[in-house]
Copies of this chain bind each other. A is one copy, B any other.
Amino acid sequence: MGHEMAKSASQGSQLPSSGPRFQPVQPVRAYQRIVEQVEDALARGELAPGQRLPSERELVAQFAVSRSTVREALRVLESNGVVRSRPGDPNGPEILPFSQSALRKQVARLARVDEVTLSELIGFRMIMDGAAIQVASRLRTPEELDELEATLVAMRDAIDVDFDAFGEADLAFHELIARISRNSLIQTCNEVVRGVVLGLISDKIAHAPNSRALMLESLHHHAEVVDAIRAGNGHAAARIARQNMFDYYAGYVPDSEQETLRALIED
């Protein structure tokens, strides 16, 4: 049957011109079909986070394939953050809630293959965070302004603890900004890229010399950002945020690329 189809196609009427565009046929592996079925069930809502998949041996029966095939499908689903299997668990593999860890893994891979340089990542954050702050400064409610003030206090307190604490407080600030901008994608994007950046420079950042001065400087900048947001001056707020990001990270990128980043600061 397949032969006949191929023949009639290649001998068909108007292939040389612009006939129906054929897709390159690629073999579909059995384990892929299993992955599809599970993901489809998840998309249709028949499977929800927290629920369990049948055990591997049960899946073998349902899908009518061997255990190797079922396991390969489960490994793929597991690496995509869809399920998690634990040995001995009689309830079977667990459907996981979404986590951005898989997303972060992909972006980190992007950076590792040198498709994306550190300066591009930082430039992206400057643009991204600036845009988020600009939006946030228009959408923010008075209550959210209070929350922003609160995170400033938390940052000031964290300076006296250690660098990690300050980093967490800083993260909280940016998460709040992303939340105020009413777009969870911005938040996810920021967190993912931030995670990748920190992963890339974590070895150098550990023994930063004058870290306290850096933190104070950063705090000062953040306070200025909040002031500008309070005044409703989104442009100024975004500009200060970009400036801060530049000051904070520029030291980690090669001199030749610093100019490119500096160009992003101005409005």
Contact = CB atoms under 8 A, between A and B. Distances in A.
A185 interface: yes
A15 interface: no
Nearest to A196: B185
B98 A109 contact: yes
Number of chain A interface residues as a range: 35 or more
Interface in A217-245: 234
Given A127-B186, A183-B124, A75 B31 contact: yes
A23 B180 CA distance: 32
State the number of copies, please.
Answer: 2
Contacts of A51: none
Interface in A106-123: 106-107, 109-110, 112-113, 115-116, 120-121, 123
A31 B75 CA distance: 9
A27 B87 CA distance: 10
A103 B98 contact: no
